[in-house]
Amino acid sequence: MDANERLNRLLQESDDARKILEQKTFELQQELEAMKDHLFFVMEYVGGGDLMGLLHEVEGGFTEKRTQFYAAEITLAVEFLHRHGILHRDLKLENVLVGSDGHCRVADLGLTKLGVFGRDKTSSCVGTPIYMAPEIMQDLPYGHAVDWWALGIMIYEMLVGHPPFDDDAGDAADASQTLQYKIVNCEVDFPEGMSLASVSVVRNLLKKDPAKRLGTRGSADKIRQHRFFKGIDWQALLDKRVDPPEKPEVPE
Q: State the catalytic residues.
A: 90
Secondary structure E strands in the chain: 31-35, 38-42, 86-87, 96-98, 104-106, 113-114
**Beta carbons within 8 Å of 86's beta carbon, 6+ residues apart:** 20, 109, 112, 113, 114, 116
Helix 196-205 / helix 145-160 crossing angle, nearest 10 deg: 150
Q: What's the alpha-carbon Rg for the chain, to the nearest Å?
A: 19
Name the residue among 104, 102, 204 with its Cα closest to residue 156. 204
168/171 Cα distance (integer angstroms): 9
